[in-house]
Chain A
Amino acid sequence: MKDNKPILVPFLRSSMAGGGVSIRGLSKSYRLTEVIKDIHLDIPAGEVFGLIGPNGAGKTTTLKCIVGLIRDYQGEILIDGQSALGSDTVNHIGYMPQSPRFVAWRNVHRALRIFGRLNGMDLEILESRIDEVLEMLDIIDFKSKPVTQLSGGTLQKLGFAQSILHSPSILVLDEPMSSLDPQSRRQIRGIIQNLRERGTTVVFSSHILSDVQDIADRVGIINYGQITHLGKMEDIKREMRTTRLIDLDLSLDPKIDLASIPGVDSVDVTGQTSYRIRVTDGQDTDVVIDDIIWKVMNSGGSVRSVFPVTKSLEDVYMQHLGGRPL
């Protein structure tokens, strides 16, 4: 299990550590369709930022604007204070597309070598770096294999390998774990966490919410080309814990009016003796639970179980998808 080992990611250039991304009023239209609408976003250096949203929400377009693949847009993108459209920033960025593709005649080694050379890497350093990156991703055995003979997962890893090969200060990953098995996903997560510790800024899109939860410092939810929610992962996790819903199951139901208990907003019957209770906004859920238990017991009933319903990241995500843009 390589993913438990510390992963060495040496920086080849001292200037590379720490590059932030600043997006100001980014809009992009295709003919009459506006796919990105006035996005403002600041990603400080060394942060891992996750961009989540449904298909067609504008994640890939936003990432392509950041790396300069889309150049015809309104607004401004600054990479470490310099325009993303300038030529100075391009060597500091590593990009992994959603489905990395390589020209058919190349093998893994040749594919990585040309990219490293184009990034200005010295041939000797490049050769050892290729081995290091391939070993890190457990695909060293495929080094001389033609890219046409690689599986989808290995191609995905090769796509990741070329993005980190030149030790960029900003790493932009479009669905980096979409076609990987759980072990490989864990491996990539480990590498991203290691890169963060070394000061690399990582911007990634994903629809695998558990991956986002594990590695992102901050999350942006994008829908219809607008960021509808932006928050620290800690805050989202807190939001997941704070709930206004209580599931109550009674072993002896006294048939009292639960809605009359102070702090209870509404009561849904979910079974013969079970209820889902919504707590009124501003009320402490724990206090309301105490009141419910007390009222039930005093009325001759008994409680089998009572617990607050915690949200999943998916619940938070779904809730914010319909939210108003920031």
Chain B
Amino acid sequence: MSLALVLLDEMNGFYRSRLMTVLWGGLPIMAILLYFLVPEDSLAGIPFTIFASLLVGSIGALLASVMLAVNLVNEINDHSLELFLVRPVKRWHLLASKLAAVYLCVTVACLLALAVGIGVDVLFNGTSLEAATVGLGDSLVTTMLMMGISCSAALLIAIFSPSVLIAVILVIFGANQLSALVILPVIVSEFSTAMTIAVSTILCLVMLALAVFAFQRREV
């Protein structure tokens, strides 16, 4: 019961935040700009949709993890979280709801951007819808995994960070570098996509478990 309530509440908060409005408009605009600004020959044969998907995904992962860390550190530091913790709410519910809310909101923004990218590719480039969506599934999985890793790491970082600034620095230079693990199959040929998914999922779960454990013990 409390998980559903806090999740809806967090979704409401992120949905209403100005940053999310900017993101929902900004990422699709970026996808359109990419189409006009990136020369076709510079894509080296990569379909535009895949290129746009990876770029939007990495930006989405960065934004989601920073938003998550800033939100949690702020609520811990200004003690607004206290009013939730003195009620019958499990601490892990609070973490899970924040993670899910940010993840879902940024995913919607990324999907919107991709849909716009595909539309632009089909309309202006004359690419067929089939050709424009080749490999889209893989790149979506990549995007989801990148966001998952960076968000899990951001939660863990936020619990230990004394200030927003430190959290943001650690997220940008730690969590996001860690999320590059997802593109390992491209670099190391022996690393299959399935293995990457497995490793990334395990990494996410371990970081989330650590974050929950640390948050249970943390005084707020």
Contacts and interface: CB of A to CB of B under 8 A. Distances in A.
Interface in B1-55: 1-2, 5-6, 9, 12-13, 16-17
A152 to B, nearest CB: 14
Given A103-B13, A114-B5, A69 B87 contact: no
A87 B2 CA distance: 13
Contacts of A162: 83
A40 B75 CA distance: 33
Contacts of A72: 217, 219
Interface in B190-220: 217, 219-220
Nearest to A87: B88
Max chain A Cβ within 10 angstroms of own Cβ: one of B13, B78, B80: B80
A259 to B, nearest CB: 57
A169 B173 CA distance: 48
Contacts, number: 59
Chain B contact residues: helix, strand, loop or mixed? helix
A100 B87 contact: no
Given A105-B16, A105-B17, A118-B5, A69 B85 contact: yes
A91 B88 contact: yes
Instruction: Report the interface size class on chain B.
Output: 20 to 34
A69 B82 contact: yes
Interface string A61-95: 00000011111100000000000000100110101
Instruction: Report the interface size class on chain A.
Output: 20 to 34
Contacts of A67: 86
A91 B86 CA distance: 8
A119 B80 contact: no
Contacts of A95: 82-83, 86
Interface of A: 67-72, 87, 90-91, 93, 95, 97, 99-103, 105-106, 110, 114-115, 117-120, 162
Interface of B: 1-2, 5-6, 9, 12-13, 16-17, 75, 78-80, 82-89, 217, 219-220
